Amino acid sequence: MGKSISTPPVPDYLAAAKEQGKQNLEAAQTSSRLSNPNMVTPFGTQTITYGQPTFDEARYNTDLANYQQKAKNINRNAFYQSGTTDEGNKYNYFDDAAYQDALKAAGKAPDRSAYTSVGTPTVTQQLTPTAQATLDAQQRVQQRLAQLGGTAMDNVAATLATPFVPTTTEIKHDFGGYKDVPDAANFMAKTEVPLQYGIDTSGVAAMPINAGTNAQNLILQRLNPTIQAGDVSFRQQLANQGLTPGTEAYDKALRNREMSKNDLYNQAALQGINLDMAARNQSVNELLNLGTFGNQAQLAGAGLFNTATGQNFNQGITGQSLGYNQALNKAQFQNTAQQQQLAQDLALRSQPLQELAAIMGGSQIQLPQFSGYQPVNVAAAPTFGATQAQYQGQLGAANAQNAANAQTMQGLFGLGAASLMSPAGTFKGLFG
């Protein structure tokens, strides 16, 4: 059966942390010395020196006295204990575990190294004579610039003390000098033209109302003497033929003569009517042509008038637009000139500020740059982490051993309980 293992004592983490801090400080000092070598460059040299460490003796003596007082109070005799064996014999033993706990409570004796401060490093750069002369020249220039800056600041103060008054502030919002838009009422087109809608027929040849009127009368005036002379010849002819009035032959011949005369009169009447109608139509057509010509002349005159009116109106509009554009361009030119003048005024006012900014930002001193060096980082030993890991390992081992012992005991207790519950002689071979 395994023996129970007591839980390992908890490490002194405060002491481990202090030790870790000490090692970190030593690693930092080593890294600092390795990362800052002395340099020699074309511009000069750079050397690193470390001051002497200082020891805080007063604080060390105080902490040492406190530790010694705590250690003095720990008496080893106080940790001797008495006990009795199973046979009843008495014996004495030293309780080392309690004694060690008392020593841990008192702490460790103070370490002198913990009271020693690190020497302060000093970096010294020494320029060559040429580099030092160059730096001195730059500093003189910088000093002169500072003096100029003071003068420029006085100019700025004087400028800002005066209110800003631009040369001109007039901006053209309206403009004139151009003609008004021509009134359309003064350019009205002709919409009413005196046209001829009828003709005067008072002078036109009259219509033939009765036979023998107008042209017919003229024809009959020429035909009647011929007919009358024919009647005389016709009667003489009948008398020469021995025909007397009242006889059938005479009446027949006379009837035929009258019919011929009647045909002549009808023909003269028809011809006269045709002539009269032709004359009337000719007159009417002439009047109609004259009326059409007059109307066309009136319409053409109205068209010319309207065209001329429209041209005059358009010319008025063109003139007005030309004058408007000229006035607008003039106003825009004046506004542009005003803005340019304002920009010039602002530029002149800000000129002292620009000069001051140029002076203050000019000719910065350029110090010589020493070549860089790759730093070295020395890591400290992981004392605190190792202390934690060691304690965790010891604690885990103890817990594992105790757990195994507990399982063994549970198994034995189980077998014992089973033997008690079983009939007599069942576990005889197992327990004898």
For 261-310, the pLDDT digits (tens) are 788 778 877 877 787 777 778 777 877 777 787 777 777 777 777 777 77
Could you identify the residue written with the tokens 């109205």? 302
Strand partners, 310: none
Q: How far apart are CA 79 and CA 93, in angstroms?
A: 9
Kindly list the strands in the beta sheet with 44-50, ordered across the sheet, starting from the edge strand earlier in the chain.
39-41, 44-50, 121-127
Say what the pLDDT of residue 365 is. Answer: 63
- pLDDT computed for residue 211 by the predictor: 45
**Mean pLDDT for the chain overall:** 75
What are 371-404's pLDDT values in tens digits?
555 555 656 668 778 777 877 877 787 777 777 7
- The residues, any chain, with a CB within 8 Å of residue 206's CB and separated by 6 or more, are 213, 214, 276, 280
Q: What is the mean pLDDT of residues 118-132?
A: 82
Q: What would the mean pLDDT of 147-174 be, rounded to a whole number? A: 78
d(CA 91, CA 168): 119
* Tokens standing for residue 119: 């020497």
Q: What is the pLDDT of residue 196?
A: 66
Structure tokens at 214: 């107008």
pLDDT at position 427 over 50: no
Which is more confident, 423 or 168?
Answer: 168
For residue 422, the SS3 value is coil
Please check the confidence at residue 258 and state whether its pLDDT lies above 50.
yes
Nearest to 342 by CA among 166, 159, 160: 166
Instruction: State the average pLDDT over residues 16-22.
Output: 76
- pLDDT of res. 429: 44
Residue ranges per domain, the chain?
1-37+375-401, 54-117, 184-351
Above 50 in pLDDT, residue 70? yes
Q: What are phi and psi of 362, to 5 degrees?
A: -100, 150
Best CA proximity match to 359, nearest among 149, 143, 154:
149
Which two three-digit tokens encode residue 430? 């197992």
Residues forming beta bridges with residue 80, ordered by sequence position: 94
pLDDT, tens digit, for every residue of 193-211? 777 677 676 666 665 544 4
CB neighbours of 245 closer than 8 A, spacing ≥ 6?
251, 254
Task: Determine the Cα–Cα distance for residues 40 and 125; give it in Å rounded to an integer.
Answer: 10
Report how far residue 149's alpha carbon sits from residue 360's, in angstroms, rounded to the nearest whole number. 6
CA distances from 396 to 9, 374, 383, 405 (A): 13, 44, 20, 14
3-state helix, strand, coil in the chain (%, to 5): 65, 5, 30
What band does 432 get if pLDDT is binned at 50, 70 and 90?
very low
Structure-token pair, residue 16: 């481990």
The type of residue at 96 is D
